[in-house]
Every structure is written in structure tokens, then in C-alpha cells.
Amino acid sequence: MDLDFVCVHSGRPAQTLTRRDVARALLAVPSGVALVALQDLRRALLAAGNPLSPVFWASAKQILSDIESGQATVGDVQRWMEATGSEPVLVTSSYFVWPEEDERGPVAREIHARFVQYLEERIAAGDIDPDALVEGNPAARHSYEQIQEEWLTQPLPDGRVPSFAVNDEQDEELFAAWDEEEAYALSELQRIIDELPKQPDRPERDLEEAAVRLRALVDLPGYPGNVLRACAGLADRPLPDDDEELWVTLAAGVAGPISDLSDDDDDPAEFADLSGDLSHEDTVLAALCSIDHADWLAAVGALLRLGPGVLASPERLARLIAESEDIDQDDIDDVEATEVLFVPVVALWTYLGIVDADEVLTPLGWWGLPKALEHSWSAED
């Protein structure tokens, strides 16, 4: 590692290298290599007319030594990088978080580069004191964070607010990836259905009885009615008149919750005590939201092939998922963790009539589960 490496790594000539440029280059190689090269690099920058400061070089030696000895934490390294004066703070006071460098989209990369340039300008103007940051001066740190917060929340000349623009891009990428995963899962589900030797028949009487039971259940306060309504997005809407539509909507909500509990279902006192445990309803919703498309596909695909009468307990479902050939086994979570997530699923399935009191798949569940997943994965935003 030498000055040429730093220049190439940063894309700048030696005369314009910043502390951040040098710090990033030092962290791009093994800490032992960086420590050996540190003194020669300092001399080379001095000869180039860009000596930086003794405080920076002392801090660089200290952090590299701590990394080499295994004493430095990720937070220590991040804090040192931020102390260069032109490294954006990872988490701001308004809880804006920059995406990882290799996960930034075009907008995040552009705005991050603009931000770094702005911070360099503030250093040149004397508004940011990197030496004071390295030394841990509280006032310098507070001022530094305020400068960053203000820039991120003020509109750019083109009208974009930096923090909003970055978050919007992340949301779009997340939604696009989710839609792609959902579309793939839906196509695989259809393949499994088409390959069944016998298509499930609609169990008219079972469906009618389940609809009558569910209409009464969701009108009652508390669990499970409040969870079923919230998951299906029916908290503020009337129930469908058609029995099949009602049943499929409620069952689809379990596989893909649409909304959280309404304010009427929340106890304000629970939120005042942040150290308290989650309510049963919130725990159920958290579990449902943690199950991914692959696990749903594997579980329901296995039940469709096995047919009514098969045990569909949480433990059995976790095993079926672990043994499934419909999904990538590298993506499968721990079997016990999967079993825990499906405990509230099977409990809600019991109310829906998908499984009976012994957690055995019913004809209604065999017929309705694929329809519920199709409804959940085909729903428009």
C-alpha cells in the first residue's frame, strides 16, 4: 500500500486527498499492511504538500492497532471514520440511516456523493473541526451532527429532500423485490396445483358453517376476531356478503397481513411501558409477518399433495418445510424457529376450519388454502 494506491482508491490526486479518502484506503487493506505503510504514506503526503494533521495520523495508528489486536468494534471504526469530518453519520438524530455502500441505488449514491462534497466544503470553511472530532469534543460532535441533520432535511435546488429521496428509493427497491418474490411464489403454487392428481372440491356445507361461525367471531371484541379483521384489512370495512369471499379473505390475511390492529384494539398504557411484553395479538401479528413466501409455499404445497387427514401441527409444518423440494434449502430457517412462527398460524387455522381441533387438515383447508395464497399473492396494492 502506498500513496498511488490511495489516489487510485479515492479517484483524486495526492494534493486534494481528504482525511476520509486516506481513512477509507487504510481500511480497504488488512490492518497489518496499513500499519506498516502508515509512516511512508504520511511522508509521501507531506512531500505532496498535503500533510493532513498529527492528530489524524495518531488516531489512524491507534484505530489500526486496535483492529489488528482485535480490540476495535465496528462502532469504534465507524466513529473514527465519522471523525474525519466528511463521513456521513451512519444514524442521524432523526433516525435516518444510510444504506450499506454496496446496497445503495443510483439516487443514494448521488446524494451521498453530494453530501460528502458539502461536508468537505464546510471543513474548508472552518465550520467542521476534524481534530476536535477525533479528540471527542462534545460541542464539535453536536455541531457536526446538526450540520448533517440540517442538510439531509432541507430541499436541494431540484426540490428533493435528501433523506426522503434516499428512503423512497429504498422503499421502491424493497417493494420491487417483494413483488418479484411474490410473483415467483404464485407461479410455483399454480404449478403444484396443476400437478395434483385430483383437484379439491368445494366443501359446500363446511364452507357455509365456517362462514356463519366467522361472522359471529369477528364481531366479538379481542382475540381472535381483532387479529383476523386486521390481517384481512376488514377492521374498517363491512364483511363480504359472499361466504367464499369472506372465508378466502380472512384466510388470505393470515398468510399476508394487510394492516395492524386498529387504535381501538390498542391499550395506550402498553405503549407507555416500553419495557413491557408485547400483547398476545401483537405477538401473533409479528409471527405472521415474519413468515416468508418460501415457507408458505413449502407448507401449503406439502399439505396439498398429502390431502385432508394429514397432521398439520406447527412441528409437522416445520418438518415439511425443511424437507420441501419446492424451495431453496439454503433459505430455510432453523426448524424450531419455523415451528414457533407457525404456532399462531395453526391456532388461527383452527378458527377458520382449515384444521380441526386435533390440528388435522380438513377438506375445507385442502380446498381453501391454495385459494387463500392466490388471493394474498395476487392482491393489488
pLDDT recorded at residue 260? 66
pLDDT at 264: 52
Instruction: Please check the confidence at residue 329 and state whether its pLDDT lies above 70.
Output: no
Give 52-57 contacts, CB < 8 A, sequence gap 24+. 52/19, 52/22, 53/130, 53/131, 55/130, 55/131, 55/134, 55/135, 56/19, 56/22, 56/84, 56/130, 56/131, 56/134
Residue 135 has pLDDT above 80, yes or no: yes
pLDDT value, residue 360: 97
Reported as a pLDDT band with limits 50, 70 and 90, residue 64 is very high
Mean pLDDT of the chain: 89
Q: Which of 66-70, 109-113, 278-282 shows the lowest mean pLDDT across its residues?
A: 278-282
pLDDT tops 50 at residue 271? no
- Which pLDDT tens digit goes with each residue over 9-29? 999 999 999 999 999 999 999
- Is the model's pLDDT at 259 over the cut of 80? no
> Is there a contact between 56 and 134 (Cβ–Cβ < 8 Å)?
yes
Q: Mean per-residue pLDDT for 220-236?
A: 90
d(CA 33, CA 192): 55
The pLDDT score that the predictor gives to residue 328 is: 75
Assign 278 a pLDDT band (cuts: 50, 70, 90).
confident
Question: Does the pLDDT at position 196 exceed 80?
Answer: yes
Residue 103 has pLDDT above 90, yes or no: no
Assigned C-alpha cell, 45: 503526503
Angstrom distance (rounded) from CA 252 to CA 90: 38
Specify the pLDDT at position 274. Answer: 40
Q: For position 235, what pLDDT does the model report?
A: 82
For residue 165, pLDDT over 60 is answered with: yes
Whether the pLDDT of residue 277 is over 80: the answer is no
